[in-house]
Amino acid sequence: MKILHNPQCSKSREALSILQEKGEKIEIIEYLKNTPSVEELKSIIKMIGVRPEEIVRKGEAIYKELYKGKVLSDEEWIEAMVKHPKLIERPIVIKDKKAIIGRPPLKIIDIL
C-alpha cells in the first residue's frame, strides 16, 4: 500500500494515521519531494477512475495564478501537476490496482 502524502496537510496526516492504526504496511511517498512522473500520475488517475482535472487542487495559489479559467486537455493537466505537484489532491492511497482520494480521510477505509 502506498500513500501520496504531504506531512504539512492535516487531512493527509489523518489518513496516514488511519492506515497505521489498521496495521497496514505503508510506503509513504512525499509527493512534493518525489513528484510522480507523467506516466505514474496517469496510472494513478486511471486507478482512481477520474479525469485529471478532477484531482487538481483549485484552491492553491499556483492554480489561481496560472490555470484558473483555462481549458486544458487531460495531458496538459497531468503535465501541470507534475510541474507543480502542489496541484495534486491529497492524500491519495494506492492498494493493488486501486486508488482513492482520502477526502474526507475516513474515505480511505473503502480501499482497505
Is the preceding omega at residue 105 within 30 degrees of 0, hence cis? no
Q: Of 5, 7, 8, 9, which one is the catalytic site residue?
A: 9
Taken in order 40, 24, 7, 27, is the CA torsion positive or negative? negative
Is position 30 annotated as part of the catalytic site? no
Strand pairing class (27-30; 2-5): parallel
Active-site positions read 9
